[in-house]
Chain A
Amino acid sequence: MPCISQSLTLYERALWGQALSLSFQDLILTLQHYWGDRGCVLLQPYDMEMGAGTFHPATVLRALGSEPWRAAYVQPCRRPTDGRYGENPNRLGAYYQFQVVLKPSPDDLQDLYLGSLAAIGIDPLKHDIRFVEDDWESPTLGAWGLGWEVWCDGMEVTQFTYFQQVGGFECKPVTGELTYGLERLAMYIQGVDNVFDLRFNDAGVTYGDVFLENERQMSAYNFEVANTDALFDLFRKAAAECERCLEAKLPIPAYEQAIKASHVFNTLQARGVISVAERQAYIGRVRDLSKAACGAWLERAA
């Protein structure tokens, strides 16, 4: 197999006579190159458990204040309740998002985004790309924005949002956020019906080889084993630690503790030990913590 430079788009590969679709890792590399070329800081995943790439401080905190900012990164996401013991071909308890944030949102954000789809081999005259209304809201972050889910032949491949508020504060200027669902996108590009059959690389390793066992064990842990008393305790401790950091005027560690509390809450939900009535109270608690951290961040920046 000839060595193919990572920066080549699928079109270029095709010119090379290589009609092979992108592997999972090449998809990531292609997106990184594309957005790196457009002035984004290429970050690595944040080293904490979180439910979505949005939680990364490079999105939440950087969306606040007036400083321009452009970043792109992969973020592993954990959604304990979505785990299916590796038995469902479309659902995972842990998966990857590719996150791009551009502040202020440029006028040609949609075109830039469509350029990234072309880069990974999606021809918009062969595939039906659509921007379908989908407003985004994160109750635990006190954040909301307007935008779309982007459809490719009826499949949602990206969440496209113009942030209006984060942590309860107006976003000014507005950050444009693109969140690519990497597994779905890769399944689409590779024409695969089961996520575990994705080619992870071009050397015979599949997504299942890498993550199937992880899905099984983590589902068992999240649904059956996780010590709920310890988790409740952890939630309280994270909340308390967040408040200590706020008193010390350290918004970043305070925000980290809010992220931690949020993940613990998600796990408690998967264990089914939070009643409907309590649920709102927990979400409210996390929101208060992240709002306070955002407020402290803004104060320091000012």
Chain B
Amino acid sequence: MADFVLELLSEEIPARMQANARNELARLFAECTGEAGLKTGAIDVYSTPRRLALIARDVADSTEAAREEIKGPRTSAPPQALEGFLRKTGLGKEQLEERDGVYFATIERVGRPAADILADTIRRIVADFPWPKSMRWGGGDLRWVRPMHGIVALLGEEIVPVEIDGIASGATTVGHRFHHPGDITVGGAQDYVEKLRACHVIVDQEERERLIRDGATAAAKKAKLTLLPDEGLVVENAGLTEWPVPLVGKFDPEFLDVPREVIVLTMRTNQKYFACTNDEGLLAPAFVCVANIAANDGGQAIAAGNARVLAARLADARFFWEQDVKVPLDQQAKKLSGIVFHEKLGTVADKVERVAKLGRWLVEQDIVKADADQVERAARLSKADLVTGMVGEFPELQGVIGGYLAEAQGEPKAAADAIRDHYKPVGQGDQVPTAPVTVAVALADKMDSLVGFFQFGEKPTGSKDPFALRRAALGILGLIIDNNLRVSMRDLITAAAHPGGASAGRELAGFLIERLKVQQRDAGVRYDMIDAVAAVETGGDNVRMVLRVKALQSFVETEDGADLLTAYKRAANILKKESWTGGVLSSPAEDGIPQTGEEDPLVLVDDPIVGEAVAEMAAGQSGADLPEEKALVAALDAAEPKAAAAVDAEDFTAAMAALASLRKPIDEFFDHVTVNDPDPAKRERRLNLLMRFRDAVNRVADFSRIEG
């Protein structure tokens, strides 16, 4: 056994691709050696901007020799069958063995040396590597993420010979581009990492990440600042450096007039700098950049150079900011009539108008408690920043810029906040606004998009969701549930409907239930619980629905609940098996009467005498003869009104408690009562009683949709 090291040296690999590349390298290596039957120990993968490397421990010297017997055709089979078998095995007829009228072939596989298999593996890794984008260079045909320059492949201390498009494997690589430009010879897996370290290359990305994380924090601290942590930047800078050296730089404090987000974003996206704050938590006029060299002047020139680049960028940003502040948002908003929102849904100005109206409606219907004028005003200004120079430069700051401009132009704080935050929540995990004006504008904006796009047939399909409607729906649910907004989805959809569009309420209701499952998943709510409640909660009040779902799930997870669920399923199965729909009455469904599980069977009975009989029958009380039957009837008599009252009062825990009171009686009923009694009257009565039990449970939640 020996350790194996592979290094693929190339020109700079994009930082964002490196994590995936390491995984793919490990996967391809394991796949290729695995298929060939070569045993290896642990595999480590590394990346730097210029290299992808892999170390496999304890690689077997060769694959094991194997002997395999394959059963062939019968000796009596037609000659073609034998011919095919010989072709398949690569043997001659004389090499086959005959036993009991059947041919057998014995295949001997000799062990292949590890170096052979590793050479094949390297070829396949290079040929099959799934780079997101690859290229050719020079006059060659090889494809790689950037031009490839070398292959180090050592098994133990021996080179694994392989040549790919003129690049021959060897033991030689290069050190840091500037600190150690010459060749270095690697002895094997055992000294690869350390040899490179001696040549200013830290091969292990995690070590570089650590150096950046800790070094940037320490550098900021030394300058009496606090680093704003940013893991994304840590990883990106680790992908851009082989010898990371964090350095602190400063910028002119006069740039701090520019909105903080703009400064941080400019530093982050354009320059990959970390931002810092001072003692009071305010943005400091300083940054931490990560150099790739230990500069001979201690990094002074680098920090100064970066500071100048940043100053130029901030000067640009300030120019836009100063231009934008001069133009009132009202005036900017007028330009929105020139931007098409969607071919069927008009311009952005049209959308703003709809959002303003819907926002006002939310307040007037008392769904959101806010100042209606403020909501309308904020809505009208909410998209005005889309035409500013600042958002043109930094599109990801839509909303944020509008908020700053509104504040600078003297809008009330609540309106400015609403403009800033009305895109929230953006996806799950994002903070859900709670300020009333913001809630109204955010909800109106998302409802307008969701309903409008559904009405015009632009629904998400499969992986395609070009208008981010799934995210909008999650946002809507988050806003409603977190803010305890009592509104029926039906009313909300009607209010948001575009007059020219098709009706989409039914489709949307289903879509929203599916989104609710996603939205509640993180809170540990089971999707089957949502289905069980959605079947009985048809009003579309999401707050009520979630309360009910949570009570149901807690109940089902208790012993009482689990037991009741079992009894319910048993009852439902018996009824299903007997196709029992209620004794003398024909099935309401067969009569074309809608059956939601909530109708009172008596509603449809006009004749008072029949009514009485039916009532008696449905109650299952006539001539009860076993104590367990009587007990169940009594329990139902007590539980049904309690459950109904509790559901009305939205005390779903109490409703579940009412159901819990049925557990013992139903269990005893099943233990002692034979439903399928030879006496048809008894049988009918008992089936009716089971049906009453099932329906009582169903009125609280449709237990048939609960799994387990």
Contact = CB atoms under 8 A, between A and B. Distances in A.
B81 interface: no
A155 B135 contact: no
A128 B292 contact: yes
Contacts of B11: 110, 131
Nearest to A108: B149
Given A127-B301, A133-B15, A90 B312 contact: yes
Nearest to A193: B308
A173 interface: yes
Contacts of A126: 295-297, 301-302
Interface in B36-52: 49
Nearest to A88: B319
A90 B315 contact: yes
B133 A132 contact: no
A152 interface: yes
Contact of B289 (A127, A131, A154, A164): A154
Given A90-B312, A162-B135, A154 B306 contact: yes
Interface stretch (A6-14, A49-57, A99-107, A262-270): A99-107
B178 A125 contact: yes
Interface in A178-218: 188, 193
Contact of A128 (B49, B149, B302): B302
Given A105-B137, A154-B305, A130 B292 contact: yes
A31 interface: no
B138 interface: yes
Contact of A127 (B133, B271, B305): B305
A33 B304 CA distance: 30
Contacts of B145: 146
Nearest to B308: A193
Interface string A121-163: 0001111111111010000000001111000111100000010
A79 interface: no
A89 interface: yes
Contacts of B147: 105, 107, 109, 162
A174 interface: yes
Nearest to B141: A172
A107 B297 CA distance: 32
B254 to A, nearest CB: 14
A157 to B, nearest CB: 10
Nearest to B17: A133
A128 B297 CA distance: 12
A161 to B, nearest CB: 10
Contacts of B309: 153-155
A278 B555 CA distance: 61
Nearest to A106: B138
A135 B296 contact: no
B27 interface: no
A111 to B, nearest CB: 8
Contacts of A146: 133, 135, 145-146
Of the listed residues A88, A90, A135, A176, the one surrounded by the most CB atoms of chain B closer than 10 A to its CB is: A90
Contact of B149 (A107, A130, A147, A173): A107
Interface string B46-85: 0001000000000000000000000000000000000000
A107 B138 contact: yes
Nearest to B338: A275
B312 A125 contact: no
Of the listed residues B135, B293, B316, B319, the one surrounded by the most CB atoms of chain A closer than 10 A to its CB is: B135
Contacts of B146: 146-147, 162
A173 B139 contact: yes
Contacts of B302: 126-128, 153
B622 to A, nearest CB: 76
Given A146-B146, A153-B306, A154-B310, A125 B179 contact: yes
Interface residues of A, number: 40
Interface string B484-510: 000000000000000000000000000
A146 B144 CA distance: 11
Nearest to B181: A111
Contact of B138 (A114, A129, A173): A173
B481 interface: no
Nearest to A152: B305
Contacts of A127: 295, 301-302, 305
B305 A155 contact: yes
A27 B137 CA distance: 29
B444 interface: no
Interface in B251-286: 271, 273
A124 to B, nearest CB: 4
B16 interface: yes
A162 B133 contact: no
A128 to B, nearest CB: 4
Contacts of A125: 178-179, 293, 295-296
Given A129-B178, A132-B240, A148-B12, A162 B137 contact: yes
A156 to B, nearest CB: 9
B305 A89 contact: no
B277 to A, nearest CB: 21
Contacts of B306: 128, 153-155
Of the listed residues A128, A164, A172, A174, the one surrounded by the most CB atoms of chain B closer than 10 A to its CB is: A128
A106 B140 CA distance: 11
A173 B140 CA distance: 7
B216 to A, nearest CB: 15
A145 B135 CA distance: 8
Contacts of B319: 88
B311 interface: yes
Contact of B312 (A89, A106, A109): A89
Interface string B141-181: 00001110100000000000000000000000000011100
B291 interface: yes
Nearest to A195: B312
Given A104-B138, A107-B138, A126-B297, A193 B311 contact: yes
A104 B138 CA distance: 5
B266 to A, nearest CB: 12
Given A125-B178, A154-B306, A164-B136, A193 B312 contact: yes
Contacts of A162: 135-137, 146-147
Contacts of A277: 340
Contacts of A193: 308, 311-312
Given A89-B312, A106-B138, A154-B306, A135 B133 contact: yes
Contacts of B301: 126-127, 153
A136 to B, nearest CB: 11
A277 B319 CA distance: 29
B315 A89 contact: yes
B517 to A, nearest CB: 38
Nearest to A176: B137
Interface string B1-25: 0000000000110111000000000
B86 to A, nearest CB: 45
Of the listed residues B273, B311, B312, the one surrounded by the most CB atoms of chain A closer than 10 A to its CB is: B312
A135 B12 CA distance: 13
Given A104-B138, A125-B178, A153-B301, 17 more contacts: A88-B315, A88-B316, A124-B293, A126-B295, A128-B292, A128-B302, A128-B306, A129-B178, A132-B12, A153-B308, A153-B309, A155-B309, A162-B136, A172-B139, A174-B137, A193-B308, A193-B311
28 contacts: A88-B316, A89-B312, A90-B315, A104-B137, A104-B138, A105-B137, A107-B138, A107-B149, A124-B178, A125-B178, A126-B302, A127-B302, A128-B295, A128-B306, A129-B177, A129-B292, A130-B240, A131-B49, A132-B15, A133-B12, A146-B146, A147-B146, A153-B304, A162-B135, A188-B305, A188-B308, A193-B308, A193-B311
Q: Which 3 A-B pairs rank lowest in CB-CB distance, beginning with the nearest?
A: A153-B305, A133-B14, A131-B12
Interface of B: 11-12, 14-16, 49, 133, 135-139, 145-147, 149, 177-179, 240, 271, 273, 289, 291-293, 295-297, 301-302, 304-306, 308-312, 315-316, 319, 340
